[in-house]
Amino acid sequence: MSDQDPFAEQRRQMVEYQIRSRDIHNEAVLAAMRKIPRERFVREADLTEAYTDHPLAIGHGQTISQPYMVALMTQELQLKKTDKVLEIGTGSGYQAAVLTELAAQVYTVERIAALSDHAREVILALGYTNVHFKVSDGTLGWPEEAPFDKIIVTAGAPSIPKSLVAQLRADGLLVIPVGDLDRQTLIVGAKQSDGSLIETSVCSCIFVKLKGKEGW
C-alpha cells in the first residue's frame, strides 16, 4: 500500500493522533479525512508538512486549515448524504473535498479567482462531480442556489452575515468563526422556524478574515 501511496501512513497517523485521539468521533468524517489526499491541496514546497497539525500558507494571504479544525467543523455540520451544502471560502479546496464525501451537493464560493480555479482543477482530477464553484463575495452566499441544508464558513467574520442566515433552510446548521481580527470563537447556529439562530460556542480559533460586504 505504501508503495502505491507514499502518503498513506501519514494520512493514517493524522487521523489517529491528531483527530480521533481528540474529540472527533464521527466515523464518516474520520473516513473522509483518511481518504482525501491532503498533499494534493498544499504547495509543492510544503509537501513534507502536508499532514502536520497546523495551517499552511497557500498563497494570496490565505491558508489551508489545520486538519483537526477541518474535521471539527465538518463534524459540527452533522452532515447527511442528502444535504446540500454551501461553503464560503474555497481556498485550497481541501475542506470542499472532505464535504463532497459526506453530502449530496457542495456549492463553494471563493473571492480569489486563482484559488478557485486551482481548487476546481484538483477536485475534478480526483473524480468528484458533486461540487460547484463560484468566484464572488462569499459574505453574500449563493442566493441563486438557496436554500441550503448546511453552511460552513472558513474565514473569521466580525458577525454572522445576514445573507447566509437567509439562505439557510429552517432546521439547518451554520458553522462559522466569529470575533475580532486576532481571535474568533467557532459558532454553530441552528436556524429556527421563525428565522432566528440559536448559537452555540464550540471553541476558540484563529482564521484569516472574511472579506466582503457583510464581513471585514
Instruction: List the catalytic residues.
Output: 65
Distance CA(69)–CA(74), nearest Å, equals: 8
- Cα angle 193, 197, 199 (rounded to 5 degrees) comes to 140
Residues 6 or more apart whose CB falls under 8 angstroms from that of 3 comprise none
| Exposure letters 13-23 (e unless 16+ CB within 10 A, then b) | ebbeebbbeee
Which single residue is written with the C-alpha cell 466582503?
212
State the sign of the Cα–Cα–Cα–Cα dihedral 209, 165, 88, 174: positive
